[in-house]
């Protein structure tokens, strides 16, 4: 998985993997193109000798993507931060001869930061609410021989509206592209028309060098930018010909014809700033 928007050669479309829909609209993928076949998902729960549980919000805890990722885990839905910790506590205290592994995901700091940016009062209020409930939770699971690990999948950076690069306002750029930009607003994959690579490089370096760095995708693969594990057979098809890595707090967006240009998130991730790449690690033993 190479970003929020991924071009899949196998289905001939740009998709959103989390919802298993195409980018243009809510057209669900068929059973023939399920997420486990597209991404060769292998759940962590299959690799451990423990009874596993996965907690996600009720809105999507039983989605195709989450069920495939959960593997042999029991999928549990929760409603709100209070219920989040109650459900974890209930699983911890459930009698079992086997050890238990609980994966619990809380998405609301992320969604609020996307909407309002990093330092909005709603975001700070949410973190205080999490902190308060977390302290209560730790008291309730005291002496249960539990190890609690708190972390995140990424950080975010605020991209103000005057730092967004709208590709539709740069028609010359679109002349080089054979499909919309994929990936993230902070790191975009560009699929270039045949024979136009050199001209594309010149154009970006002349017109966009203030806001982004340009790399050939294959060069970033060689440098280990994406990691050094076993490469998925379709991986190179999912990162385009070039990668635009945004500088400072710039972002880039290739709006589709049905996009709401005004409904643009302030908080973004996927770039290489320390704010996006470094995440907390909190470990508590009870």
Taking phi first (over 0 means left), then psi (-120 to 50 degrees means alpha), and beta for anything else, what does residue 224 get? left
| Structural contact between residues 225 and 235, judged by C-beta atoms closer than 8 angstroms | no
Cα→Cα distances 101→63, 175, 186, Å: 21, 51, 34
Residue 2 has a CB neighbour count (10 Å cut-off) of 24
Rounded to whole angstroms, how far apart are CA atoms 136 and 99?
23
Tens of each residue's pLDDT in the chain, 286 residues:
899 999 999 888 898 887 778 877 766 666 555 666 777 777 888 889 999 999 999 988 888 778 888 888 999 999 999 999 999 999 999 998 899 999 999 998 899 999 998 889 999 999 999 999 999 999 999 999 999 999 999 999 999 989 999 888 898 998 999 999 999 999 999 999 999 999 999 999 999 999 999 999 999 999 999 998 889 889 999 999 999 999 999 999 887 776 665 567 889 999 999 999 999 999 999 8
Rounded to whole angstroms, how far apart are CA atoms 32 and 252?
33
Cα→Cα distances 67→57, 248, 281, Å: 13, 37, 26
pTM above 0.95, yes or no: no
Domain ranges of the chain: 31-153+278-285, 160-265
Q: Domain spanning 31-153+278-285: which CATH class is it, in words? A: alpha beta
Question: What pLDDT does residue 19 have?
Answer: 75
Both structure tokens of 276 = 């996006």
Question: What pLDDT does residue 96 have?
Answer: 87
Rounded to whole angstroms, how far apart are CA atoms 184 and 203?
21
CATH fold of 160-265 reads Gyrase A; domain 2 (3.30.1360)
Question: What pLDDT does residue 17 have?
Answer: 80
Instruction: Return the half-sphere exposure (C-beta side, CA atoms, 13 A cut-off) of residue 255.
Output: 17
């Amino acid at each position: 998985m190479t970003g929020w928007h991924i071009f899949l050669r196998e289905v001939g479309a740009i998709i959103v993997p989390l919802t298993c829909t195409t980018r243009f609209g809510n057209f669900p993928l068929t059973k023939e193109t399920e997420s486990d076949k597209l991404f060769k998902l292998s759940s962590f729960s299959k690799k451990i000798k423990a009874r596993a549980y996965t907690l996600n919000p009720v809105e999507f805890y039983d989605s195709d993507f989450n069920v495939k990722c959960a593997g042999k885990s029991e999928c549990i839905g929760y409603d709100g931060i209070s219920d989040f910790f109650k459900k974890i506590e209930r699983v911890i205290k459930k009698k079992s001869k086997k050890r238990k592994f609980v994966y619990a995901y809380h998405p609301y700091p992320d969604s609020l930061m996307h909407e309002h940016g990093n330092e909005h009062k709603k975001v700070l209020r949410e973190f205080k609410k999490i902190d308060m409930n977390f302290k209560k939770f730790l008291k309730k699971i005291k002496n249960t021989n539990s190890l609690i690990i708190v972390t995140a999948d990424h950080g975010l950076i605020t991209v103000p509206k005057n730092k967004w690069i709208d590709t539709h306002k740069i028609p010359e750029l679109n002349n080089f592209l054979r499909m919309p930009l994929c990936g993230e607003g902070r790191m975009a994959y560009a699929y270039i028309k045949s024979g136009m690579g050199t001209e594309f490089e010149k154009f970006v370096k002349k017109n966009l060098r203030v806001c982004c760095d340009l790399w050939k995708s294959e060069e970033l693969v060689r440098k280990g930018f994406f990691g050094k594990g076993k490469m998925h057979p379709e991986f190179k098809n999912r990162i385009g010909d070039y990668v635009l890595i945004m500088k400072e707090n710039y972002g880039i967006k290739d709006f589709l014809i049905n996009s709401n240009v005004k409904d643009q998130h302030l908080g973004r991730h996927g770039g290489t700033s320390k704010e996006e790449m470094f995440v907390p690690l909190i470990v508590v033993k009870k």
